[in-house]
Structure 1
Amino acid sequence: MAELTIWRPFQDLKKEMDRLWQEFFGKSYLPERWEVIEWAPAVDVSETDDEVIVKADLPGVKPEEIEINLVDNVLTIKGEKKREAEEKKENYYRVERYYGSFMRAIQLPSEVDVEKVKAQYKDGVLKVTLPKKPEAKKKLIKVEVEK
């Protein structure tokens, strides 16, 4: 019987990035805290005339396990998805669901009003609505045609 192993792409990526940075600069580029990050949720970022909207898929994550920060126009979503208690009677043939800590840092396309940011969580999807600052909204300039 083949041994079951869990694929951790971010840890493999960090090891490879560390190797490359050490080869060129003699030091690690990614901080050690990345060792505990096992997965990152998928996100959609969209923009209207008035706001930036970020949606993140976080199935199985409790709302109290989510931390949202906004610093220097970078939205950071962190949290943890806890593993369910394993059933010892089951023989697993495949394990693809991710568990553990996660973090996504998203550079926003426009300056936003920090005081008016709202976050909603429904059916495993986090929606962060970030209203734009008035000066960040697109201004339409009419071109006059001379006759």
Structure 2
Amino acid sequence: MTAQELKIQEKKAVQPDGETTKSDTYFAPHVDIFETDQDVVVLADVPGATPDGIDLSLEDNILTIQAQRQTIKPPGRLILEEYETGHYLRRFTVAETIDQEKIEASLANGVLRVRLPKVGPAQPKKIEVKIG
């Protein structure tokens, strides 16, 4: 994979686009990115998110992963809480070598898997010449 296929924007405290009326906290989920001959795969840790709480979008070659984290309140008295409440937000620049129409995503065990298939090389094609 070249650096041009999936450019990782610097990881930092994230802010949603535009102004918001809520003061929600957003976390940048940890990701693993790997490549095969056919695709690039992004694995993002989004524990507590459900499939309907994930917003995966592609606009102006920017892949945005945004997820709502469900807060779980266990019964009884809270003794220690290390998990902060908030949401997930991470953005990546997608190269033109990715077939944007065939991007797929799935969620299992708190891990979001985004498959970014590469555009195949142009195949030889016979073009029919019509009369008229």
Give yes or no for contact 1:73–1:111 (8 Å, CA) kept in 2.
Answer: no
Shift of 1:78: 0.4
Residues 106-128 of structure 1 deviation map (CA, whole Å, 9 limit, x = unaligned) = 12355211221111111111101
Cα distance in 1 between the residues matched to 2:89 and 2:25: 7
Which residue of the partner structure matches residue 84 of structure 2? 98
**Identity across matched positions, percent:** 34
Point out where structure 1 has 5 or more consecutive residues left out of the alignment.
Answer: 1-8, 15-29, 137-147
Structure showing greater radius of gyration is: 1
From the superposition, tell whether residues 64 and 102 of structure 1 become closer, same or farther in structure 2 (CA, over 3 Å): same
Is it true that 1:124 corresponds to 2:110 in the alignment? yes
Aligned AA for 1:119?
A: A
Aligned AA for 1:75?
A: L
Give yes or no for contact 1:37–1:103 (8 Å, CA) kept in 2.
Answer: no
Give yes or no for contact 1:52–1:130 (8 Å, CA) kept in 2.
Answer: yes
Which residue of the partner structure matches residue 72 of structure 1? 60
Residues 61-102 of structure 1 deviation map (CA, whole Å, 9 limit, x = unaligned) = 11110010112332111011122226562333xx32132222
SS of match in other structure, 1:49? coil
Point out where structure 2 has 5 or more consecutive residues left out of the alignment.
Answer: 1-11, 123-132
SS of match in other structure, 1:64? strand
Counting strand residues as a fraction of each chain, which structure ranks higher?
2
Which residue of the partner structure matches residue 28 of structure 2? 40
From the superposition, tell whether residues 35 and 90 of structure 1 become closer, same or farther in structure 2 (CA, over 3 Å): closer
SS of match in other structure, 1:89? coil
Is it true that 1:10 corresponds to 2:27 in the alignment? no
Which residue of the partner structure matches residue 18 of structure 1? none
Q: How many residues align?
A: 109
Which residue of the partner structure matches residue 59 of structure 1? 47
SS of match in other structure, 1:36? coil
Please identify runs of 4+ aligned residues in structure 1 that moved more than 6 A: none
Aligned AA for 1:105?
A: R
TM-score by length of 2: 0.66
Which residue of the partner structure matches residue 142 of structure 1? none
Which residue of the partner structure matches residue 9 of structure 2? none
